[in-house]
Chains A and B, each alone.
Chain A
Amino acid sequence: MNQTASHRLAPNVSLTIIAGFLGSGKTSLLNHLLTQSGGRKITALVNDFGALNIDSELIEAQHGNQVSLTNGCICCSIGDDLMRSLADIMRQDPLPDHLIIEASGVADPTRIAAYAAVDPQLRLDGIVTLVDAAAHQLHAQDPYLADNYHKQIEAGHMLLISKPDLVEDSQVEHLEAKLRASYPKTPQARVRHGHLPIEVVLGLQAETGEQTTPPHAPQILSTQIEDHGLASWSAHLHGGLSREVLAEKISSLTPHVLRAKGVLRDAQGAYALHYAGGRIHFEDLDVQPSGHFVLIGKPELPNAQALSDLFQTASA
């Protein structure tokens, strides 16, 4: 497992890269994320704003290559210069909470991810790669693009199987099994018409301050989780929980856990945990931790009681 730690309290912009071939559903997913942002301040860097086809009633203003939505989200066209577009975004004040970069269909997403490593205000949340269930065979055998295709899947911290409704269920299952065999640690989820709980793609929100809601109050999750055949679980972990132990516990759930977030403490102090498809990131906090811990995963996750046993017993 890949672990990172940031010790800065500077505002962190969480970076999500959406990769996948032309026609794999990146645009639908982006449209969904931008219009169902649920209060998150999202800026998206996209290849072609026009293709997003955002409802004109949601558009507040348009200046050059930048479009502001009424919900506070912003969408910018990359043009052919990702570096400069990114630098422009990162110079803005205030910074967005989330930055989504739509990789071009032939981009190496790890190349984009590397920007986060040299920018103190940017934190790589993860690479989400869309795999088109209907075109997988074609893409995997494309004489010019097959190597690219496999590279993008390999780079994905989470694989989203798109257009599962266009093919037989058995075909989707076959694809999922094949991907699981090649990338056993990479979690997968299905996405139809771009619809997926936003928490899966952009991460969970957890209360950071003092506990304000009663335990087991999963209202921070959209109600779509179960609709998508996913499971969620949340709890308040009252005791301390060391980062190492927590990392170990979460890894034991691989690849069934898609997302986790917690605002906890250990001997080193308060911290936030962000887990996105195989990547764990710990962020030092200077607030009183709420103890709130949430995770989203596949139905294969252990049941609530078992999860409770796994995490509650560890926190003492």
Chain B
Amino acid sequence: MSTIYQAKSIRTMDPHQPHATHIALKDRKILAVGTAQDVADWQAAWGPLELNTDFADRTLLPGFIEGHAHMMEGLLWDYHYVGYYDREGPDGTIWPGLKSIDDVVAHLKQIQATRNDPSEPLIAWGFDPIYFEGRRMTGADLDAVSGECPVAVLHASLHILNANNFIMDAADVKNADNSEYIRRDDSGKPTGEFLGQLGMYMAMRTTNLDLLAAASSPKTLQTFSQVARQTGVTTCTDLANPVPEGAEVAMRETVEKDSFPMRLVVAFQGNSLPPEESVARMQALQDKQSDKLRFSLVKFVADGSIQGFSARLKWPHYYNGAPNGLWYIEPDRLREYLTAFTQAGFQCHVHTNGDECTEVTLDAIEDALRAHPWPDHRHTLQHCQMASRAHFKRMKTLGVGVNLFSNHLYYWGDEHRAITMGPERAGRLDDAGGCLEEGVPLAIHSDAPVTALAPLFTAWCAVNRVSSTGVALGGESEKISVEQALYAITMGAAYSLKMDTEIGSLEVGKRADITILADDPIEVGAQDLKDISVIGTMVDGLVHLNKGRDA
């Protein structure tokens, strides 16, 4: 059936017709966009078309596109959220932020008291002690939850884990080699905090529970898509996935269902295999794609994180004097991979946090392009948080796009000012304004589950540039307008995924992916952009209403 949806306002992101009130859908695609005056013509040409007024008081936008998230967001909701900020779960439940270690312990105690099998491992996630003054969480804190079962709390960064003494005893944590990856108290005793993947490994070895084993299971995918739907996302990335043999088939079974409310773009983790095999695997994945499931990107992680002091920074390096971070791939190896994938014609997305890493990656891309010229490669730098104007100019020349981690401004802005890079560099953190002025294609992202998946919030961060304590980062030249931010979470992200001919704007011929909002973000404006209620989405013209909202 073909339908005309009448809305209060439609923001199309199509320059020919930025604003409309009616949109006609047919065969899962957009048939026409216009106003009440156009309806008679549409009926004459294509009728009969049914007029639907369910969203007559709502605002429609192109379906939001999250260009950098991880499927793990869907897995973590199997565990218990203990983050500092309120977070909306897949069923629309708002989990209130926990503001102290005691709050976290009390919350977990309550869960433990009501569990069917209190001897099972108790896993929590989203914990972030940088917001707590004073002491850090210890094994004894978590023993207060239970000393009779494994209790583990995964930090928001996913790179630190707190364990209770039950786990540490089972692991027989050795005292040897004062490793910087095991936090110890003044007497040398491990406190229960383990860095890197150490904690995860220990939990795996002692509980036989692989915390992340179900990373691509149908349930994980379902939850992931529900979180996405709650925030208006109709196309989401999983950046990245090693896509082991057979995983592509399992994913497709879930994603293809009409009830699955999301397109999924899986980035193949390029360095999960040596270059030649990796290219071959990517080639083999190409005919496993569908309208809703793509294996169109290759992802590399070239350095670590800024707040974890593992990003590679240029001189003068870290503001607090911490040693420079880590390469996750050798620069020469990165060049080798990028050259191989450029030659094979696959678009690459490279995680570069620090500015030194951004430069090295641009060098590698330039070398790859000298060897194998490719005008529309659209290789994209992900995060790219410390890029300067000079870097953006170079990206423009090379045809490289960027997807900035704008949520950092809010969540870690204060830390970046005071600890990691100092006020000056923090002022140009995730410089969306500079990026657009230099003419570089821009997307912005959440990196969920590292921060909450919510494109309107991400847009708000890029527009307002304030930290969680209200401190401004940079000035007008780094900010972008509401219109530019909305473009970044729709067409900007679509461009970065090479899907801008299919999705990203509401114009004739494109897929009928639509986000339904309670209010018009252009009218709401910069201040309250993040608070607009998402009523639901349409994917391929099929309506998916959100839980906890009155439509």
Contacts and interface: CB of A to CB of B under 8 A. Distances in A.
A6 B204 CA distance: 22
Given A4-B174, A114-B179, A119 B201 contact: yes
B200 A118 contact: no
Given A110-B181, A111-B181, A118 B330 contact: no
Contacts of A119: 171, 201-202, 205
Nearest to B270: A80
A81 B201 contact: no
Given A8-B172, A87-B204, A114 B198 contact: yes
Interface string B195-211: 01111111011000010
A79 interface: yes
Given A81-B242, A83-B197, A144 B360 contact: yes
Interface residues of A, number: 40
Interface residues of B, number: 44
B323 A81 contact: no
Given A80-B242, A119-B202, A87 B210 contact: yes
Contacts of A144: 312, 327, 331, 356, 360
Interface string A63-103: 01000000000000101111110110010000000000000
28 contacts: A4-B174, A4-B177, A22-B330, A51-B274, A79-B273, A83-B200, A83-B201, A87-B204, A105-B330, A106-B326, A106-B327, A110-B177, A110-B179, A111-B196, A114-B196, A114-B198, A115-B198, A116-B176, A117-B176, A117-B179, A118-B174, A118-B194, A144-B327, A144-B331, A145-B330, A145-B331, A148-B326, A148-B327
Interface in A24-64: 47-48, 50-51, 64
Contacts of A86: 201
Contact of B201 (A47, A108, A110, A115): A115
B328 interface: yes
Interface of B: 170-177, 179-182, 194, 196-202, 204-205, 210, 242, 245, 269, 271-274, 277, 312, 323-324, 326-333, 356, 360
Contacts of B324: 147
Contacts of A47: 274
List 10 A-B pairs, minimum CB-CB distance, nearest first. Answer: A106-B327, A120-B172, A118-B202, A4-B176, A114-B181, A83-B197, A114-B179, A48-B274, A117-B174, A79-B272
B151 to A, nearest CB: 16
Classify the secondary structure of A's interface with B.
mixed
Contacts of A108: 326
A48 B210 CA distance: 25
Given A2-B177, A83-B201, A116-B174, 15 more contacts: A51-B274, A79-B242, A80-B271, A83-B204, A87-B205, A105-B330, A106-B329, A110-B177, A110-B181, A117-B176, A118-B173, A118-B182, A118-B199, A119-B205, A124-B176
Contacts of B202: 118-119
- Most chain B CB within a 10 A radius of its CB, from A6, A50, A81, A111: A111
A2 B171 contact: no
A117 B272 contact: no
A256 B531 CA distance: 68
